[in-house]
Structure 1
Amino acid sequence: MYAAGAPSPNRLVRLAPRRMPGRLRSCAARLGLAAACSLGAAWIHEHHDPGALCPLRRLTGVPCPMCGSTTVFMEAGAGHWTAALMANPVTVLAFIVFLAAPLALVDPVASWASLPARRRNALLGVVLAISWAWQLHRFGFLLGGTRLE
């Protein structure tokens, strides 16, 4: 059914064994880079508010599924963790996976790539639909949202 030696699409791809200090260094480097980017985004927003960066939202007023991703980093850089989570929970989850990947026993990128294309597309579609529903609710287009801006 599967080629000899090829990973089964139902199995997670494990990372090659590495010393823990190397993983901690990699995780610390990612965390440092993320912190610097978040602080920079918060500083830029504090001193020069560029407004909505999303072309769909700027032209139509309707948020896209990834709206709030920049806000996540601006709020995190300002230390507003709840506001960052409320801006776009999907981005926060992806960010945590990115940061924790060196410490995990599973490689999320290789595991994702080993999934069949149909399953990847379906999963991506479901995640984007949930994210878009969240954004539509957040901006008051769906289920009587709060219309935050």
Structure 2
Amino acid sequence: MRKQLSVPERIGALGAGIAVAAAFWPMFTTSTGLGAPCLLRTFTGVPCPACGLTTAAVELVHGHVVASAAANPAILGVAAVTAVTVPLLLLRQVGVVGAPVPWSGRARSRMGWVMLVAAAMSWAFQLHRLGFS
């Protein structure tokens, strides 16, 4: 039976996948000439809240924290959640830590609002960074 992951654990697992992809992204783009354009920015000229995350992830994986934060500081939050949850996931896999306690509806609602505010702040940062303020 597959173990249920909590929301932070899912974000951490996603962050681990992002870190692996970011480690190989420069080699891929150099050898193929392909990139990952932001669709919203491509079609409207307006950056999305996630603009710069690929650059930020690549910079962070290569140890350039300041450059990473300059591209999109949201990656630092993803990295922090990843740093906490990946060891937790490993401990759960070997049976040291039990299953997560499900969040209440109220806690899920609060987290939804926190994520909405974080996305709005990220979008405001990108709009300012790219001269839309």
TM-score range, shorter chain: 0.5 to 0.7
Equivalence for 2:45: 61
Q: Distance in 2 between the 1:126 and 1:74 partners? A: 25
AA aligned opposite 1:101: T
Q: Distance in 1 between the 2:101 and 2:32 partners? A: 40
Q: 1:111 to 1:55 in 2, by over 3 A?
A: farther
Q: 1:95 to 1:77 in 2, by over 3 A?
A: closer
Equivalence for 1:126: 117
Q: Give the RMSD, CA atoms, in angstroms.
A: 3.2
Give how far 1:77 is off.
4.0
SS of the counterpart of 2:41? helix
Give how far 1:80 is off.
2.9
Equivalence for 2:60: 76
Q: Distance in 2 between the 1:113 and 1:71 partners? A: 33
Give how far 1:95 is off.
2.0
Q: Which has the larger displacement, 36-45 or 126-135? A: 36-45
Equivalence for 1:136: 127
| Stretches of structure 2 lacking an aligned partner (at least 5 in a row) | 1-5, 7-11, 89-99
Q: Distance in 2 between the 1:112 and 1:131 partners? A: 28
Which has more radius of gyration?
A: 1
More helix by share: 2
Q: Distance in 2 between the 1:94 and 1:71 partners? A: 14
Q: 1:123 to 1:111 in 2, by over 3 A?
A: farther
Give how far 1:47 is off.
3.9
Identity, % of aligned pairs? 34
Cα deviation per residue 1:10-39 (whole Å; 9 max; x = unaligned)? xxx9xxxxxxxxxxxxx9xx86x6654222
SS of the counterpart of 2:116? helix
AA aligned opposite 2:49: P
More relative contact order in 1 or in 2 (CA 8 Å, sep 6+)? Answer: 2
Equivalence for 1:16: none
AA aligned opposite 1:69: L
Q: Distance in 2 between the 1:65 and 1:118 partners? A: 21
Give how far 1:103 is off.
5.0
Q: 1:118 to 1:36 in 2, by over 3 A?
A: closer
| Stretches of structure 1 lacking an aligned partner (at least 5 in a row) | 1-12, 14-26, 105-109, 143-149
